[in-house]
Every structure is written in structure tokens, then in C-alpha cells.
Amino acid sequence: MYRVLIRFYEELNFFLKDQEKHRDLPVAFPGRRSMKDLIESLGVPHVEVDLILVNGNPVAFDYIVQDGDRISVYPEFEGLDITGVTPLKDRPLRHTAFVADVHLHTLARKLRMLGFDTDYEKHRDDDILAAISQQEKRVLLTRDRQLLMRKNVSRGLYIRSTDPDTQVREVLHRLDLYRHLTPFRRCVVCNALIEPLETDNPDYLRLLKSVPREILTRYKDFRYCPVCRRVYWKGRHVEKMEAFIASLKPEDQ
């Protein structure tokens, strides 16, 4: 029988039972066990973990837990300086791209509106989502804890809230993305980059056929998606989006 003490820090306590939070947990188990297996047996997805210290020394997920180990487990540190220690993932995120599960449709649209490359389609199963995350190095966004525990998922976030606006703030805060907002550059429907719709575009008149006549009389500047052919203009809906974007500020400001 192996006996260890393990403690989870900061937001990792979200995954623990009330009596397990913010304290050293004595854990006993028979036989050999990897650090990844031990952490996830307590309900914490490995993708939420960024640093593990055993007896004061950093270890990886494949570390085999030893009897008597004292283990400290820390969350994602995208917004914090951890110079001098060895995190479990490469950093910084050089290209922030997401894949969202089928239950996060509104979050996906809002992230696209903010300019983030966000892959989303209806009816994808867990195998496909995990494969896309691995192959395209996308951060997997989901409210399915078991999905994030798959070995082939190395980047992911468990979305705590069920409110889309709060979900957006959660992603921005946890990955420190406030400085990377580039609003209104992606199609919220298909994720492609949108372009100005110029009069010399051979499809100019055909594209404008989808725009209501009253809009054509009020607006002159249009943008469009070259993939799904959706046309955009700066109407009242954009004003609402701009107000939402203005409300997005780091939590320490």
C-alpha cells in the first residue's frame, strides 16, 4: 500500500469535494500508479494542471508515485510569471486556437466575434474532438470532465459557467488573452476570415441580394465571408457587441 499527501492549489479546488479543498489530502492506494492517474482519480483533468512538485521537485505526468511523497499540484499559469520552474506544457501559447464541444455553440460564436480561431461543428463525438485538439494543437473547450482526461488531449479548459458571457470572460482570464482581441475579423458562422466587400468584386451584386433593402439604403460599407458568403455590416447588433467587448477587462483592473 502506498500512502502520499497531495494538495491542489487555486482553481483546481473547483474539481474537489468540499472536504478535500485547500488542504493536504492523505491518499492511499495499492500498487504502482502514475502521477496522471493519481491526479485524475481525484477528479482533476490533467489538462488543467501546469506544474507538479514532488518533495519540492518538478515532475511530469508519467512520474511513478512513491510511498511517502508530498505532492503539490498547480493550475494553468498563462497569466503568471513562473520563471525558474519547469511547467508541464510549452509556453507561451504561440497560436491560440480552440475547438469547442457541441454544447458550447454560443461561446464558440462569441470567441470568433472576438477574433479567435474557434473550430465548432454540431454532432461531433468525443473521439473527433480529442483528435482535432491533438492534431491541430487546439485548446479543447468543454464541460465534459472525462473528455479532458483522455491521454491524447494535452491542451484544454473545463468551462465552469453555463452563461456564455461569463464563459468568454473565463477563457480570456485563464489564458490571459485580453491583449489578443481582434474583433470582427472572423465569420461567426464558419470561422473564416472576413474581407471588405468592394464594388469590383465579381460577386458584389449577387452577395448583396441577401441583404435586406432597408439595410442597403442605410449602409454603404459591407464585409463578407468568402467561404459561407455571409454579408456583414455595422448595424445595431454591432453596437451591442462593441459594448460587450468594452466590458471585457482583466479581473485585476
Tens of pLDDT along 21-70? 999 999 999 989 999 999 999 999 999 999 999 999 999 999 999 999 99
pLDDT of residue 82: 46
143-202 pLDDT, tens per residue?
999 999 999 999 999 999 999 999 999 999 988 899 899 999 999 999 999 999 999 999
Q: What per-residue confidence (pLDDT) applies to 79?
A: 45
The size of the chain, in residues, is 253
**162 shares a domain with 110:** yes
Distances (CA, A) of 57 to 53, 70, 86, 136: 5, 10, 9, 32
pLDDT of residue 235: 86
CA distance 54 to 76: 18
DSSP 153-212: --SEEE---SSHHHHHHHHHHHHT-GGG--TT-B-TTT-PBPEE--TTSTTHHHHHTTS-
At residue 73, the pLDDT reads 96
204 and 177, same domain (yes or no): no
Question: Reduced to 3 states, what is the DSSP secondary structure of residue 97?
Answer: strand
**pLDDT digits 0-9 by tens, 113-157:** 999 999 999 999 999 999 999 999 999 999 999 999 999 999 999
Same structural domain, 124 and 174 = yes
Containing structural domain, residue 142: 97-184
Residues 176 and 206 in one domain: no
Task: Say if residue 78's pLDDT is above 90.
Answer: no
What's the CA gap between 20 and 135, in Å, rounded? 35
Q: Can you tell me the distance from the alpha carbon of 73 to that of 143, in angstroms, rounded to the nearest whole number? A: 21
The answer to whether position 250 is within a domain reads no
The total number of structural domains that make up the chain: 3
Tell me how far CA of residue 95 lies from CA of 91, 116, 118, 185, 230, in angstroms: 10, 10, 12, 16, 26
Place 88 in a pLDDT band, splitting at 50, 70 and 90: low
Average pLDDT value for residue range 104-110: 97
- Among 15-24, 121-130, 243-252, the least confident range: 243-252
CA dihedral 211, 214, 215, 217 (to 10 degrees): 120
- Residues 200 and 162 placed together within one structural domain of the fold: no
Q: Does residue 156 sit in the same domain as residue 202?
A: no
**Residue 147 burial (CB count, 10 A):** 21
Co-location of 178 and 108 in the same domain: yes
Share of the chain above pLDDT 90, in %: 84
